[in-house]
Chains A and B, each alone.
Chain A
Amino acid sequence: MQAFTTLNGLVAPLDRSNVDTDAIIPKQFLKSIHRTGFGPNLFDSWRYLDTGEPEQDCRGRPLRQDFVLNLPRYQGAQILLARDNFGCGSSREHAVWALYEYGFRCVIAPSYGDIFATNAGKNGLLTIVLDLAQVEQLFREVEQTKGYRLQVNLRAQTVAAPTGQVFGFEIEAALKERLLLGQDDIGMTLERRDLIRAYEQRRLQERPWLFPDLT
């Protein structure tokens, strides 16, 4: 995955709570066996007037002109401002792949679905939690100001508004480190293969019934 250090990005506001991963990427696109190709179908049923099908060329499909990501002022947005419980529901990592491929590098919301947030962290998409009042303020400022951008600094754990106001945010130390380095954690885990083997040997003695071979 790509490292995340700083971002100066245009902000798009998605003003609804409980945005589920079915809405982020509808089920028909989950039949793909690849990690790419989901960007054009991000928010498919909110973004287009027709129903999208997998492997369809989306250029030329009729757009819902009033959907926020279709408004000219938000073209090229890299930061998605969202509400409570963003990414709830299904575990589909395709939701993160779709957001990333569309161009988003960061989401700001008061809370996230747990699995979505974990998936985001595995793909270099930064999910920032700000409190309700701060998010509310950002929604107001974004809507009032064309070309509204935020500066995100992961190392400093800050989001800076054009007004000069700076919001701090919390992030787990391990996740921060991985995002800054763009690291894959399978390699890191396999460095601990001896620990895993030792654990298995001990459990095999203590709890042999946990190791039935299903083959």
Chain B
Amino acid sequence: MTAKTLYDKLWDEHLVQDFGNGVCLLYIDRHLVHEVTSPQAFEGLRLAGREPWRRGASLAVPDHNVPTRARAVIADPVARKQLQALEQNVKAARIPYFELSDERQGIVHVIGPEQGACLPGMTIVCGDSHTTTNGALAALAMGIGTSEVEHVLATQTLVAKKMKNMQVRVSNRLAPGITAKDLILHIIGRIGTAGGVGYAIEFCGEGVSALSMEGRMTLCNMAIEAGARSGLVAVDEQTIDYVKGRPFAPTGDSWTQAVDAWQDLRSDPDAAFDRTEEIDAAAVAPCVTWGTSPEMVASIHEQVPDPAQEADPVRRAGMSSALSYMGLQAGMPISAIRPDKIFIGSCTNSRIEDLRAAAQVVTGKRLAGNIKQALVVPGSGLVKRQAEAEGLDSIFLNAGFEWREPGCSMCLGMNDDRLEGGERSASTSNRNFEGRQGAGGRTHLVSPAMAAAAGIAGHFIDVREYLCAADAGNAN
């Protein structure tokens, strides 16, 4: 038998039919549904007189345009209509649904793993590119478009073309204070936003094994920002421990059988990859993006780069246009950039460990005077409850942050949490595209601890300066 990668194994296990022309029919185990990319799919089903193939395989939740405060009434009439459409559609189709008032409601990619609805070895799809997050569970997780959402609802399958295999091997461990977010920004800076186009990326090596499950989710979440439709991490003890006991996880004999089968969810030692990238985790510093693409990233100790130094004319033009949009000058220190707003949240960084990391920096401090607003938006109602049980909400509130209800919030600004024209954010989200967080808004992507530190200092700063101070304080 030929050696297989983890991706090959997941693909082969889910093959219903190979059409022989590079295209296959792939079975989908789990389909996550939210309000923005599903209404047209349900309409398509209705128009064709089709029923969902397997109702219990889907899980629906509102997240993209929900308000993060005062949510009894949705003030925005257009958003309200879309949220009502989701509710009507899933109720008519009898698809499992966490409504807005349910404590389990949250960002679709946070609640899937949290509930054990997403399991190792599954194929998982959602009409959202950050479905890659779920690959941290050694699942084949892919973002799909609305036509494909309709296809999955109607057939429980996807017509798909197999991607190529890429391995990102991370040697050594991240230094204290450096997180999975810094690692993935560093990786994207190295391979570029188009570097993973056409590939599924498996992240492996000591630097990945040493990450917590939540850190692995952050890593896989942004695989799409490197252009890859899927990110993957192999199963290990941490994966199994994470899944055990979750509401929809198997129990009893079924659990034992599952754990046994999951042991195979790793690439064979001699499996061949189409491409391998080597990354040294020990060389990763806290990262801050300076431009309008996630690949436009620097370490906190660097300067905003100078387009004049770039030889490639298309890249040079892209850099100039980004600096002009971002209102930055070439050569200025990254640490001199002063954000107006802080956003801690999104499917990238809204889990409990993210909130703990930010709270650790903020404890006993106050937001700097230039910060107009600082939001903490937990990824789910359950993350929120856990954080409150640990007293994190008070830490944030005492420091001047706002403590909100779960949702996608300022990551994409579909609700009223957004940047105004010209405003600058330190954001733990995943995209710094022009206008992403609000028309004319300027986004700098960072880790939760770095966002918190920027809020306290009023400018970007190496978070380790605070952490060292805190350690010294504790020692005293």
- Interfacial residues, chain A to chain B (CB-CB below 8 A): 15-18, 20, 22-23, 26-28, 30-35, 45, 51, 54-55, 83-85, 88-94, 96, 111-115, 118-119, 122-123, 172-175, 185-186, 189-190, 192-193, 195-196, 199-200, 203, 207-215
Contact = CB atoms under 8 A, between A and B. Distances in A.
A22 B48 contact: no
A77 to B, nearest CB: 21
Contacts of B250: 208-209, 212
Contacts of B58: 214
Contacts of B354: none
A207 B121 CA distance: 10
Contacts of B157: 189, 196
Given A85-B197, A122-B147, A209 B258 contact: yes
Contact of B78 (A17, A55, A186): A55
A31 B36 CA distance: 6
Contact of B413 (A27, A55, A94, A207): A27
Given A33-B82, A185-B159, A210 B129 contact: no
Contact of A85 (B37, B59, B85, B227): B227
Given A33-B39, A208-B254, A210-B119, A113 B197 contact: yes
Contact of B318 (A16, A189, A195): A16
Contacts of B370: none
A64 B232 CA distance: 43
B328 to A, nearest CB: 18
Given A18-B194, A51-B439, A209 B156 contact: no
Contacts of A118: 144-145, 148
A186 B145 contact: no
Nearest to B255: A209
Contacts of A94: 146
A33 B129 contact: no
Given A186-B155, A196-B16, A115 B144 contact: yes
B130 to A, nearest CB: 9
Interface of B: 16-17, 19, 21-23, 25, 27, 29, 36-37, 39-40, 43, 48, 50, 53-59, 64-65, 76, 78-79, 81-82, 85, 94-96, 117, 119, 121-122, 127-129, 143-148, 150-151, 154-157, 159, 161, 163, 193-194, 197-198, 224-225, 227-229, 248, 250, 254-255, 257-258, 261, 293, 295, 314-315, 317-318, 321, 412-414, 421, 431, 433-436, 439-440
Contact of B257 (A83, A123, A208): A208
B145 A26 contact: no
Contacts of A55: 78
B22 A212 contact: no
B151 A89 contact: no
B22 A111 contact: no
Given A119-B145, A173-B21, A210-B119, A186 B150 contact: yes
Given A33-B81, A114-B229, A212-B250, A186 B48 contact: yes
B23 A172 contact: yes
Contacts of A89: 129, 224-225, 431, 433
A214 B318 contact: no
17 contacts: A31-B82, A33-B39, A45-B434, A91-B128, A92-B145, A93-B37, A112-B197, A113-B197, A114-B197, A118-B144, A118-B145, A122-B145, A186-B48, A189-B154, A189-B155, A208-B257, A215-B56
A118 B161 CA distance: 10
A15 B315 CA distance: 11
A113 B59 contact: no
A15 B129 CA distance: 25
Contacts of A209: 119, 250, 254-255, 257-258
Contacts of A215: 55-56, 94-96
A18 B439 CA distance: 18
Given A114-B197, A214-B117, A22 B145 contact: no
A209 B155 CA distance: 20
A148 to B, nearest CB: 20
A163 B430 CA distance: 44
A35 B82 CA distance: 13
A149 B39 CA distance: 37
A134 to B, nearest CB: 14
A34 B39 CA distance: 7
Nearest to B27: A199
A22 B436 contact: yes
Given A27-B414, A28-B414, A88-B227, A33 B435 contact: no
B210 to A, nearest CB: 28
